[in-house]
Amino acid sequence: MNYNKKTVKDIDVKGRKVLLRCDFNVPQDKATGAITDDKRIRAALPTIQYLLDQGAAVIACSHLGKPEPSFDKWAKKQAEKGKDPASLTKEKWEKTLEALCMEPVAKRLGELLGRDVVLAGDVVGPDAQAKAAALQPGEIMLLQNTRFEKGETKNDPELAKAMAGLAGADGVYVSDAFGAVHRAHASTAGVAAYLPAVSGFLIEKELEIMGGALADPKRPLVAILGGSKVSSKIGVINHLLDIADMIIIGGGMAYTFAKAQGGSVGTSLLESDWLDYCNEMIAKAKEKGVKLLLPVDTLCAKEFSAEAEPVLHDTMAIPGDMMGMDIGPKTIEAFSAAIQGAGTVIWNGPMGVFEFANFAGGTRAIAQALAGTDAITIIGGGDSAAAVAQMGFADKMTHISTGGGASLEFLEGKELPGVACLLDQ
């Protein structure tokens, strides 16, 4: 995949309308609709401010949540969940859409920018068209939730053409929603067929740092992979075995590796269908000369509970009535030593059930080791990013990716539709 893409600095935007795809999919309080974390809005500010300062008129857009734009499909899904079909009215469906409108986002964006943000009542309808036509250089508007349109997730070319049309014949498309670039949607990829497309500063940074770590890393390159399932990291492990010097496996996925080697893992999370795959990866690591580090000791518990008492066992000999919950002290020591000798470290996935204080030690120790090394440290989004932030180590990392699924697919070496569509340098 080509990571060398044109950015907003490579194109003249003065006096032009810019369709800007952001990631404003922010968490909200279910009762009040208030935004509980505006990090994603703040992340878009440098690109927005640059465009406004350069004299562009900015038409921002984003999805928010997972609205179902079709009443029939919504009713069918609710019925499948056991809801009484007679109670599934259009009014209830409309309320679900209303809860995912962009008003709170527009309000918070305006507060952060210190200027008015014009909010459209639709995505490509009459209100959006009128407000886009009236938008002047140095002004910004926000379209309604892109997923209110049925064609958004299907990358419908007619919808993409209509969205691009809001920017006019001389318009520009700027992609700055890294968290959504792995999806070929109308607003993330389709619009690039109708407008010159470049990246914003957020995507530029992701491509520069993560792309650089994969294409030409400072060595040794150490990849730390955790999380619950081997199946979700198949492609990542396989791809990293071709480029890494060492791979460290932790989290729930480690128990499938232990079982594959003949270990006893008790009631630990286990994917029996992937035992052969684990052995294949172990063999591939030996063949490639990649050091593969697996846990040697494990903090276990009799039940999945925050109050459960931690009991230490050998990872290959977990009692039948116990489950692995976190890596143990010998494993922490070995993993931390490996990190200290690294040139570049990529971390994706926690080492244990870090949400429970009794089993957060392994994830915290890895975060501390990364914070204390001179290596380039990259956190691949998702739970590991949340853990690093929660534990107070965020400012000690070289880069924390803004994408969850996008980061995983990036590490897997997959082509990301929302990046592939951008103009090459």
Catalytic residues: 40, 229, 382, 405
- Alpha helix segments (H runs only) across 3-84: 39-53, 71-80
Under 8 Å between Cβ of 148 and 74:
no
Q: Find the angle CA(78)-CA(81)-CA(83) to the nearest 5 degrees.
A: 60
Q: Find the angle CA(7)-CA(10)-CA(12) to the nearest 5 degrees.
A: 115
DSSP letter at 404?
A: S
Q: Which run of H or E residues covers position 338? A: helix 329-340
User: What letters, b where the CB count within 10 A reaches 16 and e where it falls short, cover 407-421?
Assistant: bbbbbbebebbbbbb
Q: Which run of H or E residues covers position 94? A: helix 90-98
Sign of CA dihedral 362, 367, 372, 373: positive
Q: If we measure between CA atoms, which residue out of 414, 409, 407, 415 comes closest to residue 179?
A: 407
Return the structure tokens found at 13.
Answer: 């935007």
Distance between CA 389 and CA 41 in Å, rounded? 17
Whether the bond into 126 is cis, omega within 30 of 0: no
